[in-house]
């Protein structure tokens, strides 16, 4: 008697551990708060913090001091990257993301409660610095954790698309923060709310206090997350490292360097299009270091229009990067950023016609933010793909946040200095952006395509 066996039925595809809506929300909410915080502080740093916390008697010195504290937070980010990366790679993504978001939320909320220089003197600047360092520390682990939630839970062939979800936090955070500032401006007495007595007294605090609402929502979503399949597989293989930071520097130092410089031009462009552009465009033409003389409210509205293109092209970049590869797309976009830097002054030189000047500046914002979306979008997939699962949190976090020092902490300070050195013309600022683009282009040329990387591999 013989027996026959029938082939086993193919096993049904395992349902994802985290639903698509949960992945999108959990990866998006933290970076939205991160960039909301940046825009809130950047706007306040340009408009009110020089007066409230750094009244030196010289406008340029006060502005540099305000941006200096802003940059100090970037210095703290790599420390946060090491700490949160260690816990994220050793104990899992979920708890680490909750901790980073809670730390960031508390620090942002406290800024809205700080006394000013008129009340406690130099202690006010010190307390602001401490809060900014706490924010930077928390943000060191925020972005990479959000990017890992998106990419490690992405369907096959859609990692770059899913990687754009945390990147969308940048334009969404900008719109929320600046829309709130505009509402405050219109709601407070005076010709320009940003310069009114009420805004200087208490109005500037509202955006920082409002961040608590978004933090609560973010915590609720993240507490519902399940660890990614990639991390669980690494645990089952016994791949978890006792000291991820030491391992990544020992075995993957080249990838750390490449990741840092691949991100450089994106960071420099981002900060020049936001904090520097706001300062330059709203400074009167007859100032010691002249600008374009736009009203603050008018220019913020122009920026919001540009940021809409930022969001649209961030989403567009995902399918493009999935189709043609992250490296190829970024080489083309970075080349365009270099050209944009070279022709910077074409857009930002005052013309005889105010309407023509306004049209050129709006074109500058649209084109710059468009490039920002195409450049920033693929980073959510590319940086995590550079590293294996057991050091992915640490590696991507260190690359992203060391780049924040080179391209973000220094960018506003260097830009203001170059603006002053150029006697009011931003042509040197444009060359600075082009130089950053060249360094990124070299890093891309030395790197390999990560599109087909097996994200679950050892």
Domain range list for the chain: 20-243+252-446
- Name the CATH topology of 20-243+252-446: Growth Hormone; Chain: A; (1.20.1250)
pLDDT of 435 over the 80 cut? yes
Cα radius of gyration (the chain): 23
Q: Return the sign of the alpha-carbon dihedral for residues 355, 357, 360, 364.
A: negative
The residues, any chain, with a CB within 8 Å of residue 221's CB and separated by 6 or more, are 22, 25, 26, 29
Residue 454 or residue 386, greater confidence: 386
From residue 326, how far is each of 55, 81, 257, 258, 421 by CA, in Å?
46, 24, 17, 14, 37
Closest CA to 246 of 26, 395, 129: 395
* pLDDT tens-digit readout, 198-249: 777 788 888 888 888 888 888 887 777 666 666 666 667 766 767 778 888 8
Mean pLDDT comparison of 39-53, 317-331, 382-396, highest-scoring range: 317-331
Tokens 């600046």: give the residue.
178
* pLDDT tens-digit readout, 159-205: 999 999 989 988 998 888 888 877 877 776 555 434 567 777 788 88
- Other C-beta atoms closer than 10 Å to the C-beta of 156 total 6
Residue pair 207/40 in contact (Cβ under 8 Å)? The answer is yes
Please report which confidence band the pLDDT of residue 52 belongs to, taking 50, 70 and 90 as the band edges: confident
pLDDT at 194: 42
pLDDT at 416: 81
Question: In which region does residue 423 sit, left (phi positive, over 0), alpha (psi from -120 to 50) or beta (all else)?
Answer: left
The residues, any chain, with a CB within 8 Å of residue 194's CB and separated by 6 or more, are 47, 48, 181, 185, 296, 297
| Least-confidence region, from 70-74, 277-281, 307-311, 326-330 | 70-74
pLDDT at 234: 66
* pLDDT tens-digit readout, 7-43: 444 444 444 556 777 778 878 887 888 778 777 877 7
Q: Is the pTM of this model over 0.95?
A: no
Q: How far apart are CA 126 and CA 363, in angstroms?
A: 39
């Amino acid at each position: 008697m013989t027996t026959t066996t029938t082939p086993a039925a193919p096993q049904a595809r395992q349902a994802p551990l985290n639903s698509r809506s949960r992945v999108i929300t959990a990866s998006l909410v933290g970076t939205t708060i991160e960039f909301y915080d940046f825009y809130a502080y950047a706007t306040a740093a340009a408009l009110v913090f020089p007066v409230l916390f750094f009244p030196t008697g010289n406008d340029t010195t006060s502005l540099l001091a305000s941006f200096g504290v802003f940059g100090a937070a970037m210095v703290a980010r790599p420390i946060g990257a090491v700490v949160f990366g260690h816990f994220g790679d050793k104990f899992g993504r979920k708890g680490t993301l909750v901790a980073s978001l809670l730390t960031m939320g508390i620090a942002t909320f406290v800024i809205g409660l700080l006394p000013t220089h008129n009340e406690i003197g130099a202690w006010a600047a010190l307390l602001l610095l401490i809060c900014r360092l706490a924010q930077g520390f928390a943000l060191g682990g925020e972005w990479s954790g959000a990017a890992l939630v998106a990419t490690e839970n992405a369907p096959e062939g859609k990692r770059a698309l899913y990687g754009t979800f945390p990147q969308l936090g940048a334009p969404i955070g900008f719109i929320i923060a600046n829309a709130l500032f505009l509402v405050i401006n219109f709601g407070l007495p005076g010709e320009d709310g940003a310069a009114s007595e009420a805004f200087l007294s208490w109005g500037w605090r509202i955006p920082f206090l409002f961040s608590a609402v978004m933090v609560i929502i973010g915590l609720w979503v993240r507490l519902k997350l399940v660890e990614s399949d990639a991390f669980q597989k690494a645990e089952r293989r016994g791949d978890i490292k006792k000291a991820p930071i030491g391992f990544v520097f020992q075995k993957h130092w080249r990838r750390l360097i490449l990741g840092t410089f691949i991100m450089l031009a994106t960071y420099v462009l981002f900060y020049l299009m936001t904090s520097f552009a706001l300062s330059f465009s709203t400074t009167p033409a007859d100032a010691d270091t002249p600008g374009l003389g736009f009203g603050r409210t008018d220019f913020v509205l122009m920026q919001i229009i540009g940021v809409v293109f930022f969001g649209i092209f961030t989403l567009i970049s995902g399918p493009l990067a999935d189709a043609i590869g992250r490296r190829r797309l970024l080489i083309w976009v970075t080349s365009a950023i270099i050209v944009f830097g070279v022709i910077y002054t074409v857009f930002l030189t005052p013309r005889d016609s105010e309407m023509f000047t306004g049209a050129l500046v709006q074109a500058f914002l649209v084109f710059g933010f468009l490039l920002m979306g195409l450049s920033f979008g693929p980073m959510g997939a590319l940086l995590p793909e550079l590293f294996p699962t057991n050091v992915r949190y640490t590696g991507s976090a260190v690359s992203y946040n060391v780049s924040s020092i080179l391209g973000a902490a220094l960018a506003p300070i260097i830009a203001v200095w170059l603006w002053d050195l150029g006697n009011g013309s931003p042509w040197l600022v444009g060359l600075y952006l082009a130089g950053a683009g060249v360094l990124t282009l070299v890093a891309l040329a030395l790197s390999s395509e990560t599109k087909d990387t097996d994200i679950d591999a050892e």
